[in-house]
Amino acid sequence: MRNLIIAFLFFLPSLAFSQSFKTESGEAIFLSKAPLNEFTGESEKLKGLIDLEKNLVDFYLDLNTLKTGIGLRDRHMRENYLETDKFPFAEFTGKMKSIPALNAGTTYPVVVVGKFKIHGIERNVEITGNLQKTSSGNIELKAKFDILLGDYEIPLPKLVFYELAEKQEVSINATLKPVK
């Protein structure tokens, strides 16, 4: 019994001060602002991990979960442009330029450099965002970045009513909970 109590006390600090946080239900939104057509696509299935000790930021999204509010547009987006049968995920892996101390209630700007992959193409990117630790020990993440569809060999639709902007504005919002 004494050994069990000693083991518990030994592991308690690592549980109380977890440096690894994950989400299974983050939000990813893209905004397409073409001259004649503006719309968003959204998913609440963003999965990710931030490990402060290892300085690892790793997120991915099943592109089949993106919804624009119009079923036919969603199907065309998946089949003709994103080709989700061949390339089902968008992925990002990177490192923060500097790791904030994360005191509860304070928002910290962060810059993450890494690789973003979509449509089978991987590119180096730099993403800016904010991290905030909540009083419950979670981390709130908000980030924005742009992607150019041509950089990832995603074709632009030729039909005016499916007009899509070359530049897509991507927003990420997630609550990450400590990994136990």
Q: What mean pLDDT is predicted for residues 134-158?
A: 91
Tokens for 173? 């919002």
Q: How confident is the model at residue 18 (pLDDT cuts 50, 70, 90)?
A: low
CATH number of domain containing 72 = 2.40.128.110
Q: What mean pLDDT is predicted for residues 115-143?
A: 96
Mean pLDDT lowest among 32-36, 105-109, 172-176: 32-36
So what's the pLDDT on residue 30?
Answer: 95
Taking the C-alpha atoms of residue 5 and residue 111, their distance in angstroms, rounded to an integer, is: 42
Decide if 88 is inside a domain. yes
Decide if 11 is inside a domain. no
Question: Could you tell me the pTM of the whole model?
Answer: 0.83
So what's the pLDDT on residue 5?
Answer: 41
- Tally the C-alpha atoms within 13 A of residue 83's C-alpha that lie toward its C-beta: 11
So what's the pLDDT on residue 73?
Answer: 87
So what's the pLDDT on residue 101?
Answer: 86
Q: How many domains does the chain have?
A: 1
Taking the C-alpha atoms of residue 180 and residue 20, their distance in angstroms, rounded to an integer, is: 8
So what's the pLDDT on residue 34?
Answer: 80
Q: What mean pLDDT is predicted for residues 99-116?
A: 93
Tokens for 166? 């070359």
Decide if 3 is inside a domain. no
Q: What mean pLDDT is predicted for residues 89-101?
A: 94
Residue 15 has pLDDT above 80, yes or no: no
Decide if 10 is inside a domain. no
Domain boundaries, position 134: 19-178
Taking the C-alpha atoms of residue 149 and residue 157, their distance in angstroms, rounded to an integer, is: 11
Decide if 113 is inside a domain. yes
